[in-house]
Amino acid sequence: MATATAPGKIILVGEHAVVYGRPAIAAPVWQRVATATIEPAAPGDGCSLHARDVELDIHLRTARDDEPLAVVTRLALAQLGIEQEPDWRIKLHSEIPIASGLGSGAALSTALVRAIFRQLGREAEPAQVSSLVYESERFYHGAPSGIDNTVVAYGQPIWFVKGREIEPFTPSVPLTIAIADSGVRSPTKATVGDVRRAWQREPARYESIFDAIGELVCAARRAMEVGDLPALGQLFDANQTLLESLDVSSETLHRLVAAARRAGALGAKLSGGGRGGNVIALVEEDAVDAVSGALYTSGAQQVIVTRIGAEAR
């Protein structure tokens, strides 16, 4: 039996614009993971996949060509030179909320790829995993930047520009982030598609917004490099304003952002596709309880506190 895990993820700054070639900074969230376990099946049964969290029970030989987890399974087996379908029962479980901006699809696929490699006596390199998982991300996101599969496969904070070599990146001082789940599911594919259609209608306007987000991400990196957390918080707020101009926020997210700021967060913004999913707030340690409480009072379904650059998994 082989088992593998993979973390969730948050985008600190730069979502949506990253699809159009601007930089973004993302980090793993090890407090919520996806797990894949492979058990032997009876001879001749072939390979089946079971993921209770997404109501998936399929057999590999009859799965649709556009089913993401079947796609990544077939690709991983092909890369390992396995031509005959193995007799496996693959169980998948995720603690990561679905369609919430925390990279649930990438995490499930990453755990699956790693478990397949381990079951065959191999360890997959992060670049291998990321490349395979990207193919499944296309079914979740439509036109993904590649940031989700990259940060989840590498399991560390990254500076990401589409089409360029990834750059691991760690802030000079630890960041404490409160992640508030709005409870509103919002598939990233839908918001990415809406932004793309708006960009096609008004390319000049949207390119200027993407440029502004790209400049903000560069400023955020500088703030992290020198440990200027108040400046970083202001950049979170500015990024939220720009995301609102892309029409990917919502009243629910506005309420959570405002609650975090009132309770003492240095800055707050949506993270991921938007219109639902998560809000992230940059907080100082002595404000964690107050900000978390305010987020719950304002309707957050759960609040995860993660520290970036401060602790291992």
DSSP string over 84-147: SPP-EEEEEEE-SPTTSSS-HHHHHHHHHHHHHHHHTT----HHHHHHHHHHHHHHHHSS--SH
Q: Which of 272, 312, 236 is nearest to 102 (CA)?
A: 272
- For the question of residue 148 being annotated catalytic, the response is yes
The SS3 of residue 305 is strand
Point out the catalytic residue in the list 65, 66, 148, 237: 148
Across the chain, how many H-helices and E-strands are there? 9, 11
d(CA 130, CA 148): 9
Bridge partners, 268 (sequence order): 281
Q: What is the dihedral of CA 140, 141, 145, 146, to 10 degrees?
A: 0
Q: In whole angstroms, give the CA distance from residue 157 to residue 290.
A: 26
According to DSSP, residue 161 is labeled: -
Which positions are annotated as active-site residues?
148
